[in-house]
Amino acid sequence: MATKPIRIGLVGYGFMGRTHSNAYSQLAHFFDTDHYPVRQAVCGRDEEKVKAFAEKWGFESYETDWRELVKRDDIDAIDICTPNNSHAEIALECIKHGKMILCEKPLALNGEQGEAMVKAVEESGLPNLVWYNYRFLPAVTHAKNIVDAGELGRVFHYRANFLQDWTISEELPQGGAGLWRLDAKEAGSGVTGDLLAHCIDTARWINGNIVSVSAMTETFIKERVHTETGEKQEVTIDDAAAFLARFENGSLAIFESTRYARGHKALYTFEINGEDKSLFWDLHDLNRLSYFDHGVPSDRRGWSSIHCSDGDQPYAGNWWVPGLCLGYEHSFTHALYEFFKDLDDPQKEKRYPDFRDALGTQYVCDAVLESAKTKQWVDVKQS
Ligand code: 4PW
């Protein structure tokens, strides 16, 4: 029974502000938790736009300065949906004011910033989450459960990619409104922090720690016109990144992400090969988990496709009836559910990524960028 309100202050109302607001509006309708989110306030610099967002998404009030928002006594949790270069500053201020934090991914610009955030949040004891949402799709969680049950046997390989094509045009401006992902000052990196970070989070969750990497990155278009200055400037992000990795469990991995894969808008796939079984998942068919079981007699053996919509699949029973599909947006509601259900029991094993967990992913991203620069294998710092 949801009796305990958690009053949310949302900072930023772009793409992620909408996905999170949708999750806040859905949670209590579909999941039973003691706590429930209240859309208390949203914050953005443009008063007209933030007011319109508040009205559209049912926030009770708005602010135009996040520093005012985090001070408010009627806010329990801050949701950080701003560009990556502001995550650390906002999070540290939230901690000073005793607010729990839900932070967009990646955790920070780099491991150093992330370490300060982890230290402060752990000293405060405040609950904290980083929105690596793909973990919470039923088929992905099912893959994790199958691996945790030891069904794959010894794991040999993990491979993942996240492919897009939206930055191929030379006409696309550098940075500016809505394009902060293209400016390393605001984003920290290009596809490494934006896309590979998702692949790394899922991989670490399912297959354990990554211990070393050997990477290459490329910036295909070297100069772009900046929206604000109108001048050409050097492009500082990685347009594409690929790396080899070794996991602590001895398995080998290959990861690739790019925004230059013509024809792909958001193709995220992963495959994991064990001695006894293999699993494959594809975001474009996100309700399915492909499954190969070597234990089946050879004349019946082959890849099968599990439609993860039955009531006994993770989260699925909370929604419609078996056979109907869930989508991208549900992953955020499920992330929120995992966070809310453990709020009174912080010792419980967490199914969601917290700051420390996300720091582990940040360290892998840092190692990828360093390896690409030095052309050497790099050992990954562990969180
Ligand atoms: O976090 C990622 C984004 O920055 C997303 O999951 C997909 O790629 C959608 O937008 C970008």
Give me the interface pTM, i.e. the ipTM. Answer: 0.95
Summarize the confidence of residues 92-108 as an average pLDDT. 98
Residue 103 CA to ligand 1 center (angstroms) comes to 14
Sign of the CA dihedral running 161, 246, 216, 227: positive
Q: Which atom of ligand 1 is nearest to the CA of 164?
A: 8
pLDDT tens digits for range 164-186: 999 999 999 887 777 899 999 99
- List the one residue out of 71, 68, 73, 66 whose CA is nearest residue 87: 66
Residue 149 CA to ligand 1 center (angstroms) comes to 30
Place of tokens 């290959």: 254
Whether residue 353 is preceded by a cis peptide bond, meaning omega within 30 degrees of 0, is no
pLDDT of residue 350: 87
Residue 266 CA to ligand 1 center (angstroms) comes to 8
Residues lining ligand 1, Cβ inside 6 A? 194-195, 198, 266
pLDDT, the chain, mean: 96
- Residue closest by Cα to atom 4 of ligand 1: 194
pLDDT of residue 349: 80
Summarize the confidence of residues 363-378 as an average pLDDT. 98
Choosing from 195, 286, 329 the residue with most ligand 1 atoms within 8 A of its CB, the one to mutate for a pocket test is 195
What is the DSSP-derived secondary structure letter of residue 128? E
* Its pTM surpasses 0.90: yes
Cα torsion through 366, 378, 360, 250, rounded to 10: 150
Summarize the confidence of residues 215-234 as an average pLDDT. 92
pLDDT tens digits for range 44-96: 999 999 999 999 999 999 999 999 999 999 999 999 999 999 999 999 999 99
Q: Which atom of ligand 1 is nearest to the CA of 194?
A: 4
CATH number among 3.40.50.720, 3.30.70.1350, 2.60.120.260, 1.50.10.10, domain 4-133? 3.40.50.720
Percent above pLDDT 70 for the chain = 99
Given this structure, which CATH class describes domain 135-379?
Answer: alpha beta
Whether the Cβ atoms of residue 16 and residue 180 lie closer than 8 Å to each other: no
Q: Where are the domains of the chain?
A: 4-133, 135-379
- Residue closest by Cα to atom 3 of ligand 1: 194
- Rounded distance between C-alpha atoms, residue 346 and residue 344, angstroms: 6
Cβ neighbors of 374 (< 8 A, separation 6 or more) are: none
Whether the Cβ atoms of residue 111 and residue 366 lie closer than 8 Å to each other: yes
- Residue closest by Cα to atom 9 of ligand 1: 266
Whether the Cβ atoms of residue 87 and residue 355 lie closer than 8 Å to each other: no
Residue 200 CA to ligand 1 center (angstroms) comes to 14
The number of helices, as runs of H, and strands, as runs of E, in the chain is 11, 17
Number of other CB atoms surrounding residue 318 within 10 Å: 17
pLDDT tens digits for range 3-55: 899 999 999 999 999 999 999 999 999 999 999 999 999 999 999 999 999 99
Number of other CB atoms surrounding residue 70 within 10 Å: 23
- If pLDDT is split at 50, 70 and 90, which confidence band does 229 have? confident
Same fold? 4-133, 135-379: no
Q: Over 70: is that where the pLDDT of 347 sits?
A: no
Summarize the confidence of residues 254-276 as an average pLDDT. 98
Whether the Cβ atoms of residue 25 and residue 57 lie closer than 8 Å to each other: yes
Three-state SS at 240: strand
